[in-house]
């Protein structure tokens, strides 16, 4: 197992060629990226200028995407087990042109170090469309976020996405969800569930997470339970969280 260099438990590291984003759906309400991007912007770090603005004491992502070429290049050589690409942005954001997205994929493709790349987007329609022409090797896992019923349509986009490993990040889980249609037809090869953290966190009932575990068990799909909802989940008595007395850190089957 590679050293864990990110707080995101289901990845082993992150890399951010793109910086900045804008909110698209209820899951984004308390996005962690905004606060971090604001701090980087204040420190003058490359790519963050103009990505967040303050409005009456509130910070809002502007939709400006900073692109850092040397980090696109770095994807060619990074060696880690599971690299979450663009955790501080959205790879398929509408303000990034196709050419830059393609360059990210070209760099990942050129990596010969056994790294698995995890792309997770809320712009799933664009991912589905671009995946038809992008070359997506088996070590690039393509996913979307779906934490509420109004986002379930993204799983239909995922179904159209050309990738061997397709996954859903059910984070933050905001209400009960039935994802069985996409488990039953083989769209989903991995399911991550997590509750919200930080300021303004919204409660995830444990039964909602357990119900998704049962759905995954029914179709033998790996399940990863990241955290219960709390201001600081890692301070919880139960971290990592369990269901049936077990920590659920399952991963996709990479080989047939």
SS3 205: coil
Question: Is residue 61 within the footprint of ligand SF4 (CB under 6 A)?
Answer: yes
Question: Judged by CB under 6 A, which of 19, 40, 122, 154 binds ligand SF4?
Answer: 122
Angle between helices 124-131 and 153-160 (to 10 degrees): 10
Contact of 219 with 184, CB cutoff 8 Å: yes
Q: Which stretch binds ligand SF4 (CB under 6 A): 27-35, 72-80, 131-139, 178-186?
A: 27-35
Question: Is residue 21 within the footprint of ligand SF4 (CB under 6 A)?
Answer: yes
Applying CB under 6 A, the site for ligand SF4 has a residue count of: 11
Q: Which stretch binds ligand SF4 (CB under 6 A): 21-29, 43-51, 74-82, 192-200?
A: 21-29
- Four-point Cα dihedral 240, 192, 71, 62, nearest 10: -100
Question: Judged by CB under 6 A, which of 12, 18, 84, 90 binds ligand SF4?
Answer: 90
Contact of 188 with 167, CB cutoff 8 Å: yes
Nearest to 154 by CA among 118, 191, 128: 128
In the bound state with ligand SF4, the residue whose beta carbon lies nearer, of 89 and 139, is 89
Question: Is residue 225 within the footprint of ligand SF4 (CB under 6 A)?
Answer: no
Question: Judged by CB under 6 A, which of 2, 4, 6, 23 binds ligand SF4?
Answer: 23
Taking the complex as a whole, the smallest distance from the CB of residue 159 to ligand SF4 amounts, in Å, to: 20
β-pair partners for 82: 116
Q: For the purposes of burial, counting CB atoms within 10 Å of the CB of 232, is it exposed (0-12), middle (13-18) or buried (19 or more)?
A: exposed
Q: What residue ranges bind ligand SF4 (CB under 6 A)?
A: 21-24, 27-28, 31, 33, 61, 90, 122
């Amino acid at each position: 197992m590679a050293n864990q260099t990110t707080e995101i438990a289901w990845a082993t590291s992150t890399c951010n060629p793109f910086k900045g984003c804008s909110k698209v759906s209820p899951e984004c309400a308390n996005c962690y990226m905004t606060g971090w991007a604001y701090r980087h912007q204040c420190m003058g770090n490359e790519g963050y200028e103009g990505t967040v603005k303050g409005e009456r004491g509130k910070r809002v992502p502007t939709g400006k995407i900073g692109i850092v070429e040397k980090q696109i290049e770095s994807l060619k050589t990074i060696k880690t087990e599971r690299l979450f690409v663009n955790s501080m942005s959205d790879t398929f954001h509408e303000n990034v042109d196709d050419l830059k997205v393609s360059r990210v994929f070209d760099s990942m493709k050129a990596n010969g170090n056994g790294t698995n790349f995890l792309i997770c987007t809320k712009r799933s329609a664009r991912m589905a469309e671009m995946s038809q022409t992008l070359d997506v090797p088996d070590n690039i896992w393509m996913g979307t976020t779906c934490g509420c019923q109004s986002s379930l349509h993204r799983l239909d986009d995922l179904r159209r996405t050309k990738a061997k490993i397709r996954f859903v990040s059910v984070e933050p889980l905001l209400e009960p969800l039935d994802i069985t249609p996409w488990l039953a037809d083989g769209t989903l090869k991995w399911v991550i569930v997590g509750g919200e953290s930080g300021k303004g966190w919204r409660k995830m009932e444990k039964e909602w997470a357990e119900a998704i575990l049962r759905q995954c068990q029914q179709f033998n799909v790996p399940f990863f339970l990241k955290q219960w909802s709390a201001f600081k989940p890692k301070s919880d008595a139960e971290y990592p969280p369990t269901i049936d007395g077990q920590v659920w850190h399952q991963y996709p089957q990479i080989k047939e």
